Amino acid sequence: MLSSTFTRLTNPASLASAAARRHALRAPLAVRNLATMSSATSLTKDPSRSSIGGASSYLSNVADFKIIESTLREGEQFANAFFSTEKKIEIAKALDEFGVEYLELTSPAASTQSYNDCRAIVDLNLNAKILTHVRCHMDDAKLAVQTGVDGLDVVIGTSSFLREFSHGKDMQYIIDTATEVIQYIKGEGLEVRFSSEDSFRSDIVDLLNLYRAVDKLGVNRVGIADTVGCASPDQVSELVRTLRGVVSCDIECHFHNDTGCAIANAYAALQNGATHVDTSVLGIGERNGIPSLGGFIARMYAADKEYVKSKYNLAKLRDIENIVADAVGVSVPFNNPITGYCAFTHKAGIHAKAILNNPSTYEILRPEDFGMTRYVAIGHRLTGWNAVKNRVEQLGLPLTDADCKKITNKIKNLADIRPLSLDDVDKLLRRYDEAKVDDSHHAILEGIDTPDQISQWQ
């Protein structure tokens, strides 16, 4: 329920040659840590391309990206999450109807039920490709292959923190093990993505040497992961652009939202050559999660509306979010992009007037494209007479502009005591209209001192 008074109201140019990119990007490769990279090493952006539209350079994939939807993997790591097999199937089907290209599932090595769930979702024969996320370990890879998935997302930590305090292996071990695992997966005819974990706190030279090695093995994608959410969009742009000059395969990105940059980082990654972005419904995941599917879609819609509309069944988004919110025991946030209850609510008088004339004045997203409804709040002290007039017209009342202005002044005065409900506003408008028959309408307004008087009318 709303708490106040509301009325309804191409693909970029081909990449330059790998050799040319490597030459242009040679300077950053000597830098030992990404955090110290200078912006002076950045490629010059094409001034003919608008950053508002998203295609900031010839590297941009803003109009050519794929979603790896990880609610059933990353989302299972959310503190409140427990998905039964039936719920996983419901979520998988809903995401498939929405149109995501990939569904990522929890490793079948995690538990017996995880293995069985993986097989159950594979057996649905969805349009989306089914991936599972596994450690860079032969036992995990062999078990995952048995489930019938389309591909494996292989990961191993590469930062000094994880190498010392997690798996305890050096870079040569990582390269050797990755080679063995990747060759096995490719030999089974499956897609393979190889990702470093904690990429943005990893040694940049070690990182790029690792990516070069796995790229030569023919992986479908390499992945970078901001595992602790420390990266900024500038750092993401720098690393992705550098990586784009080193590998020929696709680039997947996984961003955590600890510092609130996950969606901005995903967008920056696509602008600079990434091809795949990990999301989860409502952004659920480890700690405070990753880019929300809805938030990411909103960002990409603003960049290239027609492309996003052509790929995804946008009207399904609200249903998907409600399914997941109910499953993990949370509410859809009031300020959630697209589906939050006030996402398309306009309150200020100046805003309302412009919106009623042309919604594009204060909206970058069209609610109709998402199966949502626009609202104009009118029962408050900031209301304007144009919003009141719009409600009068919706009710079919023959009131003049002068009448609407007088009623607006009364609403504003009453709303200094408390906001009026839409029902209260409608009662006032109808009572005023009826009173015009015997010319007692002025007395109607003069006789009201509090909103409670209107609420008591029958």
Dump pLDDT digits (tens) for 214-227: 999 999 999 999 99
Residue 339 lies in a domain: no
Q: Return the pLDDT at 59.
A: 86
Question: Could you tell me the pLDDT band of residue 31, with boundaries at 50, 70 and 90?
Answer: very low
Q: Return the pLDDT at 156.
A: 87
Q: Which tops the pLDDT comparison, 193 or 199?
A: 193
pTM of the predicted structure, to 2 decimals: 0.84
Considering the domain architecture, whether residues 268 and 125 belong to the same structural domain is answered as yes
Residue 3 lies in a domain: no
> Taking residues 228-250, what's their average pLDDT?
96
> Taking residues 151-179, what's their average pLDDT?
78
As a whole-number percent, the residues of the chain with pLDDT over 70 amount to 85
2-6, 173-177, 421-425, 427-431, range with the lowest pLDDT? 2-6
Rounded distance between C-alpha atoms, residue 368 and residue 391, angstroms: 20
To the query of whether residue 167 is one of the catalytic residues in this protein, the response is no
Considering the domain architecture, whether residues 300 and 368 belong to the same structural domain is answered as no
**Is pLDDT at 347 greater than 70 in this prediction?**
yes
Considering the domain architecture, whether residues 319 and 355 belong to the same structural domain is answered as no
Residue 368 lies in a domain: yes
Q: Return the pLDDT at 159.
A: 62
> Taking residues 118-123, what's their average pLDDT?
98
Considering the domain architecture, whether residues 166 and 262 belong to the same structural domain is answered as yes
Considering the domain architecture, whether residues 67 and 199 belong to the same structural domain is answered as yes
52-66, 186-200, 341-355, range with the lowest pLDDT? 52-66
- Taking the CA of residue 369 as centre, how many other CA atoms within 13 Å lie in the half-sphere pointing to its CB? 17
Residue 5 lies in a domain: no
> Taking residues 328-350, what's their average pLDDT?
94
Q: Which tops the pLDDT comparison, 146 or 32?
A: 146
Q: What is the DSSP letter of 51?
A: T
Residue 4 lies in a domain: no
Considering the domain architecture, whether residues 173 and 24 belong to the same structural domain is answered as yes
**CA distances (Å), origin 17, targets 26, 64, 439:** 14, 19, 80
Q: What are phi and psi of 196, to 5 degrees?
A: -80, 155
Phi and psi based region of residue 331 (left: phi greater than 0; alpha: psi -120 to 50; beta: remaining): beta
> Taking residues 157-169, what's their average pLDDT?
61
The first and second tokens of residue 424, run together, are 């209260």
- Which residue in the list 133, 351, 380, 441 is annotated as catalytic? 351
Considering the domain architecture, whether residues 350 and 278 belong to the same structural domain is answered as no
Among residues 328, 354, 377, the one where a domain terminates is 328
- Please report which helix (H) or strand (E) contains residue 377, including its range: strand 375-377
Considering the domain architecture, whether residues 366 and 242 belong to the same structural domain is answered as no
- Location of structure tokens 């209301």: 383
Among residues 300, 328, 356, the one where a domain terminates is 328
CB-based burial label for 48 (10 Å; 0-12, 13-18, 19+): exposed
**Is pLDDT at 126 greater than 50 in this prediction?**
yes
Please answer whether residues 223 and 193 qualify as being in contact, where contact means their C-beta atoms are separated by less than 8 angstroms: yes
Residue 34 lies in a domain: yes
Considering the domain architecture, whether residues 370 and 318 belong to the same structural domain is answered as no
Give me the domain span that covers residue 126: 18-328
Considering the domain architecture, whether residues 321 and 420 belong to the same structural domain is answered as no
Rounded distance between C-alpha atoms, residue 405 and residue 87, angstroms: 53
- Our count of domains for the chain comes to 2
CB-based burial label for 219 (10 Å; 0-12, 13-18, 19+): buried
> Taking residues 327-339, what's their average pLDDT?
97
> Taking residues 206-210, what's their average pLDDT?
92
Taking only the tens place, the pLDDT of each residue in 363-387 is 999 999 999 999 999 999 999 999 9
Q: Return the pLDDT at 416.
A: 96
Taking only the tens place, the pLDDT of each residue in 79-108 is 999 999 999 999 999 999 999 999 999 999
Please answer whether residues 329 and 322 qualify as being in contact, where contact means their C-beta atoms are separated by less than 8 angstroms: no
**Is pLDDT at 445 greater than 60 in this prediction?**
yes
Considering the domain architecture, whether residues 177 and 232 belong to the same structural domain is answered as yes
The first and second tokens of residue 232, run together, are 């900024």
What CATH number does residue 210 fall under?
Answer: 3.20.20.70
Considering the domain architecture, whether residues 264 and 308 belong to the same structural domain is answered as yes
Residue 236 lies in a domain: yes
Among residues 275, 303, 328, the one where a domain terminates is 328
Residue 74 lies in a domain: yes
**CA distances (Å), origin 82, targets 25, 195, 360:** 45, 26, 41
- Taking the CA of residue 86 as centre, how many other CA atoms within 13 Å lie in the half-sphere pointing to its CB? 1
Question: Could you tell me the pLDDT band of residue 201, with boundaries at 50, 70 and 90?
Answer: confident
Please answer whether residues 29 and 208 qualify as being in contact, where contact means their C-beta atoms are separated by less than 8 angstroms: yes
Instruction: Please give the span between the terminal C-alpha atoms of the chain, in angstroms, as a whole number.
Output: 22
